[in-house]
Amino acid sequence: MSFLLDTHAFLWWLTADPRLSQPARSAIENANERRYVSSVTAYEISNKFRIGKLDMAREIIENFELVVAEAGFEKLPVTASHAILAGKMQSAHKDPFDRILAAQARLDSLSIISVDPAFDTFGVQRLW
């Protein structure tokens, strides 16, 4: 199985945050699984850093590609197909970051690692 990490799951993994569930932690630790971090996660982290909601993220955004690689993850770029599906998906959930992640999970047949039950409204498999 292959996984896409939601932004908080990626950050919680990097910071060894105890809020990361044990099933999520086990999936991320399994080097036999393909684990992806979206380019939209880079945008979300840098945006939250800019507005003062994520002060600890300076080093992550300054070295994003290196941090992702050293953690053993693969980068997943956002394509036009992802963007179009994100805009078309029927869901009351409006968060643009979540919509892109859900579209990537659907189009790339990935399970999403996220605490957020809003992903369940997009018809993607969620692990938590």
Torsion angle of the four alpha carbons 55, 52, 41, 70, in this order, in degrees rounded to the nearest 10: -10
Residue 6, classed as helix, strand or coil, is coil
Spell out the SS3 assignment of 52-77.
CCCHHHHHHHHCHHHHHHHCCCEEEC
Q: What is the C-alpha separation between 85 and 77, in angstroms, rounded?
A: 14
Torsion angle of the four alpha carbons 17, 104, 93, 26, in this order, in degrees rounded to the nearest 10: -30
Is the pLDDT assigned to residue 96 strictly greater than 90? yes
pLDDT in tens, 43-54: 999 999 999 999
Query: What domains can you pick out in the chain, each with its CATH number?
Result: 2-127 (3.40.50.1010)
Is the pLDDT assigned to residue 1 strictly greater than 90? no
Any idea which residue has 């599906």 for tokens? 85
pLDDT of residue 17: 97
Mean pLDDT of all residues in 57-67? 96
pLDDT of residue 25: 97
Amino acid identity of residue 42, one-letter, is A
DSSP element (H, E) containing 35: strand 34-38
Q: What is the pTM of this model?
A: 0.94
